[in-house]
Each structure stands twice: as C-alpha cells, then as structure tokens.
Structure 1
C-alpha cells in the first residue's frame, strides 16, 4: 500500500474527505513484534475531536486517534469482481426489497417504513434508500414511534462495502445509540451455471404457493399466520421448491423470486439428517432453470457470516460477495444526538 511521495509518509486526507473511501496507516498499539504500523481501508465517516471514524466493508467501525496517524489518502472504490454479473447497489437494493415485501408500509421521504407483524427483520425495518426529508434525529424518532405503535422494536436496515452504500449512516446510527444486531452478506452470481448443475437426487417439485408440508420444513416461523404467507408470497414472480420425503415433511425446500434479470434464492433448508447429499444444490438448480425460462440471467442471495455450510455451498456455485447488510436496533432509552 503506497503512502509516500519522494520516500516520505504523508497524511493526504482531512475532515473534508468525510464520506470518501480512504486508506490510513497508524502506529500500532498491539505490541506484536514487527507490527509497527496498522493499515485500515474503509469509508471515513467522521473526524471529530481528534478521532477518525472509519467504517470497513464488513460494517465494523475503527477509531483512529489522529496523533497515531502517520499516512492517509483517498482511494478509489474497490475494483469490480472478475466473475459474476455487473451490478450496482442502486440496482440491487430495490430488487432485494421486492423479494421480502411487508404487510404494511409507509414512506418517510426517501425511506420506507415496513412492518409484517415481526416476521423477518427485512420486512420489519426501515429501508433508507434516500433522504428521509427530516433531520436524522427526527427521522429516527419517527422510526421508533412508528414501530412502537405496532408493538415492534425499531430497526433500520443499512448496507456497506459497495459504491453508494451507507457507511456514514451506519456511523450516525452507532453514535445515536442504535445497536448493530445482525450482519450478513449479499452475494451474486451468474445464473446459468447454477441451472447447469446436475444433482443425483429425487425430483424437485416447483409450485407457485406454499402448503403445510413446505411450511413444516421452514424453520423461520413456528406459527405461520396470514402475515407469514403474505410475505413469502410477495414478489414479481415467486416459486417454491420441495424435495418429497417418505413422510409428510419434505427433505428440502427453497424459494426463488424472479425480478427482471435477477433471481433471488432464499429459504433453502434441508433435513439435518440429509445434509451434504446434494439436496440444496438440486433445489437451487431447479429454481435456477425456472428463472432462466423467465428471462433471468443473474442470481443473488443473502447469507449470514457464521453460516459456514451455506457459505461453502454458495462458493461452489460461483457466488461472490457484493456488499454487506446490517440491521440496527433502536436503543431502549432516550435517543442520543445522531448529528
């Protein structure tokens, strides 16, 4: 990582670069032999009272005392991936939202307040894809009040790690006392190779709706009421897959939402006794073929960072990380100043 001009380390960033992607080098405080410097790359989200706040691609915030800063510069966005479809955050974000539509929603400027009786954070969080039309502290108060009126905790869904994502908003939420509860990755891939995968398993059944058998395998809802069925059935073109088993409960299930060139995969679940037998791959391949028939060419999915089995499966199918997404929960006490 090059920080020098004429062989001298230089700090070439100021507080005016807030909101830009930067690379900084600081004196290390780890005490590890040979580790004199520590490098950090991310979005500069604030530079106040002698402390820089930098949000990494993962959503992690790093605080750097300016007295320890030995070099720094603005850097361009990360280079595009060498495989998979080209996609911007601005294109992907609405596609992801349409795959988990809430039971009710209300605009707040360029934000959308979404609720579905608590079923999935994605359908029960504010989606900030623009300016809320209010100062941020007022917008966050509105979010808290709107969800409290429905007996729900206030959540804001954010994204990091791609051009146009919301590192500054994440930092503002943290300063206001909102807690990052869940982080995951959005991954994308070319769709055709997934559909070409051959799996030596029982036939995969595809349906437009869910039945009791499909729901009995689905682990995200113990009591699937009408709100669950509405969210699961939402989207431009929705397909449900299942692999029959000897009993009433399918051996594997999956859900796919086709939306223009995108096919989103979710709810891929397998009987624990049948894992690593190709069932998840078979479900995704069958859904991919149907999506290809409808004109889709690109795939996306969301996976939590600690789901090692799913991550290994998706790596093998060609998925690469596009950006991270996070859910911030409102504090239970008084709202802090987010400014």
Structure 2
C-alpha cells in the first residue's frame, strides 16, 4: 500500500481508542535489518483497540491486527471517496454466501473439506448449520454421517445450508432430508441507498449494540455469549438506532450487508426503515463499499415489497435441510 506519511513529516501517534470507527492511516515497524528499520503503512477503518492490539479493516474487507508496541505513527484521515458504481459485482452463489457467512460468524466452526460446520448454541439456523461449499472431501453419505455426529455431540439439530443451485440439494432430498426456511439473497447498487432521505430524528451509529438496540431486536431475547458473538461479529460491523427503529450493517470490501432492520409497530409508515438503511449505506460507502445485499425469507412479502422499492433484486435463493425425525 502506498505510504500515507510524507518522508519529511514528523512521525507522531495521533490516534487513540476513542477513534474506533474512524478511518485512519498508521505506520508500523516491520523489521530492522543491519540496523536499518523498515516500515509498512495500513489505511482503513479502526475496528477495535483491545489488549494492546490495534485492528484495522482495509477497503478490501481484510482486518489486520497490529501490535500497539509496533506503531510509530498514526492519524485520522478523511473518509474514502464514495464510489458511485451503478452495477453490482458479478458473484457466484457460493462466493456471495461466503461473504454473508463472514458477516454472521459462528463462534464454533469445524471444516469438512470445503464445508464449514457452524455452531452458536442454537442462535439462528444460519449460525448453526453447515455452509455447503465445494466438496466435503469424503463420500457424501460419510459426510452426512459426520454432520449428524458433530451436531449430535452438541445436542443440536444437524442443518445444511444449501444454495438452490447446489447439486447437494437434490442429493440431500433423495436421502430424506427435509427442506425448511426458503430464503432469498437480494442485491442492489449501494450508491442510490446513500441518497435515502433522513427521518425527523437522528440515527445513531455505533460499533456495539447497546441495551436498547438488543431489546428492540426480536431475535435476541435472553442473549447468550454465543449469540452476542454472532451479532457483533464480522469484518466491519455497524449498529444503527433511532427512536422506534434499529438496523445492522457489515462492510466487507465492496459489499455491505443490511440486516436487523426493524421498526416497532407504533412507528411504522414513517420512513424509519429507509432512514436507518440510508445512514448505514452512507457509512458503508465511506468505507469503500459499492454493493448492498441482504437475506430475506421468501414468504416475507412485506419485507420484499420494501426492498423492491429500494432497488433490490433477487441474486439467488438458499434453503436448509435436516434429517427426518
């Protein structure tokens, strides 16, 4: 990455943990060879600063951990220019599902060839199912038996998350695995979302959900540690809140996930959902995202109608399979 500090400038560390959420440029000591130091620069969003480690999320979505002791300079820099791309990047079903998986990470995972077994104490099917991608590395019946065994050890239902285009969808059906929860992955250019109007009240953005946000989110209930790890996990996570509405976005390179957009019944039809999405979109654009995506259950007609009006279209569908009882 090109240096962001001029050669003659005085090196100063002018960032603190209070700058989490802002775009920064830092220089770190890479190594010392024959008494001569070499440095590397990193530019991105300061995601966190914990335990003596600074975490910065680059425009690509990669999060880099840098030891605080290695920092020799750092400063806050202007937000990245908003790119007004009008087309959604071409992605296969599996590629976009992989981006989505990073935005909703299970605290416990295991690999089975190209498949990823995920467990989060039962919090959402997505975080408690097998992300089926590529080959499992063993014959299918052996792979399914391993899935059943792994989830059985955790007293959990073994679910497969399968793209509708996956060849394993028909294979699982032929073996009696039952289909559940048809879901649509929908995409849209991000730039139009940044122009959504603001509501009368301000939208607050934060890196962590407060008690009010969690209380408004219908999925949390008695929130476990595992569930909180899922909700707060991802490359660059933002929570939006305003009186009567909440939302969540995760920026991962050029993609921004929108989810948990909820409005309490007494505040509906006031434009709060679009205000929350607009605020999140503007933040995502500042971090370099150009495309938006979301996941919505196929039978949720109200949500689909809302997202139709915001320019979202279907990218692909996926569903879950579980063994017959």
State whether TM-score is above 0.5.
Answer: yes
Residues 188 and 321 in structure 1, CA contact (< 8 A), matched pair in contact too: yes
Residues 111 and 131 in structure 1, CA contact (< 8 A), matched pair in contact too: yes
Q: For residues 169 and 92 of structure 2, what CA distance do their matches in structure 1 show?
A: 19
TM-aligned CA deviation for residue 88 of structure 1: 2.4
Q: For residues 178 and 196 of structure 2, what CA distance do their matches in structure 1 show?
A: 40
- Cα deviation per residue 1:184-211 (whole Å; 9 max; x = unaligned)? 1000000010011113331110000011
Structure 2 residue 278 is matched with structure 1 residue 274 = no
TM-aligned CA deviation for residue 91 of structure 1: 2.7
What SS does the aligned partner of 1:102 have?
Answer: coil
What SS does the aligned partner of 2:127 have?
Answer: coil
Structure 2 residue 80 is matched with structure 1 residue 87 = no
TM-aligned CA deviation for residue 128 of structure 1: 1.2
Residues 201 and 282 in structure 1, CA contact (< 8 A), matched pair in contact too: no
1:292 counterpart (285, 303, 325): 285
Q: How many residues align?
A: 240
- Cα deviation per residue 1:59-97 (whole Å; 9 max; x = unaligned)? xxxxxxxxxxxxxxxxxxxxxxx9644332243121011
TM-aligned CA deviation for residue 225 of structure 1: 1.4
> Structure 2: which 5+ residue stretches go unaligned?
1-85
- Cα deviation per residue 1:112-163 (whole Å; 9 max; x = unaligned)? 1000000011110011111111111111111011111101000000012xxx
Residues 94 and 163 in structure 2, CA contact (< 8 A), matched pair in contact too: no
Structure 2 residue 188 is matched with structure 1 residue 189 = yes
In the alignment, what sits opposite 1:63? Answer: none
Q: For residues 269 and 140 of structure 2, what CA distance do their matches in structure 1 show?
A: 47
In the alignment, what sits opposite 1:283? Answer: 276
1:1-339 equivalent positions in 2, closer than 5 A:
84-160=88-164, 165-166=165-166, 168-244=167-243, 251-332=244-325
TM-score by length of 2: 0.72
Q: For residues 201 and 144 of structure 1, what CA distance do their matches in structure 2 show?
A: 51
How much is the aligned-residue C-alpha RMSD, in angstroms?
A: 1.3
> Structure 1: which 5+ residue stretches go unaligned?
1-81, 245-250, 333-339
